[in-house]
Structure 1
Amino acid sequence: MNLNRLKFFSVAEAKAKFSRVIEESKKDNIIITKNGKPEVIMMDYKKFVKMIEFLDEVKDLTMLEIEDVEKYKEIKEFFETFDNL
């Protein structure tokens, strides 16, 4: 992800320009801020699906390579926590 291509909108601005925000999120990731702090991200759905598929592959490969049982449990718990966000 190119951090220089992130675009920021406040909640109020995103609400007022929602159609524009949707269109721009197809090209660049959009950060929606609340009280000046990043709150959520909008991104192209196809890009999101590819990112999730990639993370699932990384998870599977990581789990296959771990021989240390304790480390396996630790990483498994991390991914379970991530899945439940």
Structure 2
Amino acid sequence: MRLEKLVFKSLADTKAHFSEAVDTAANGKHDVIITKNGVPRAVLISYEKYTKMLNFLSTAYELYLMDAGEKAFGMEAEDILEDTSED
């Protein structure tokens, strides 16, 4: 991701100008990184980008299953992506 395509907004600013933040993300030219106390906490992206990401993850998961074989049975894509905690 190129930094020039990211817009950083504080949570307070995003709350005060939510419609503007949504419009910024929806036009597809910029992703909006929402920060709390200077730390990135959430992202607004366009719906088009969101669906492309889901399609990519679904395809990658299918390729993973083809490669992993039997040891992958019983795992869902959500199981692989579930742990989003930062160590």
1:11 maps to amino acid: L
Tell me, yes or no, if structure 1 residue 80 matches structure 2 residue 79.
yes
- In structure 2, the CA distance between the partners of 1:57 and 1:78, relative to structure 1 (3 Å rule), is closer
Give structure 1 regions of 4+ aligned residues with deviation exceeding 3 angstroms. 76-79
C-alpha contact 1:59 1:79 (8 A) present in aligned 2? no
Q: How does 1:6-85 map to 2 (within 5 A)?
A: 6-26=6-26, 27-67=29-69, 69=71, 72=72, 76=75, 79-83=78-82
Identify unmatched segments of 5+ residues in structure 2. Answer: none
Tell me the CA shift for residue 77 of structure 1: 7.1
Could you tell me the TM-score, scaled by structure 2's length?
0.76
Identify unmatched segments of 5+ residues in structure 1. Answer: none
1:6-49 Cα shifts (integer Å, max 9, x gaps):
11000001111111111111221110000110000000011101
Could you tell me the TM-score, scaled by structure 1's length?
0.78
1:58 maps to amino acid: A
- In structure 2, the CA distance between the partners of 1:3 and 1:79, relative to structure 1 (3 Å rule), is farther
Q: RMSD value over aligned CA atoms?
A: 2.4
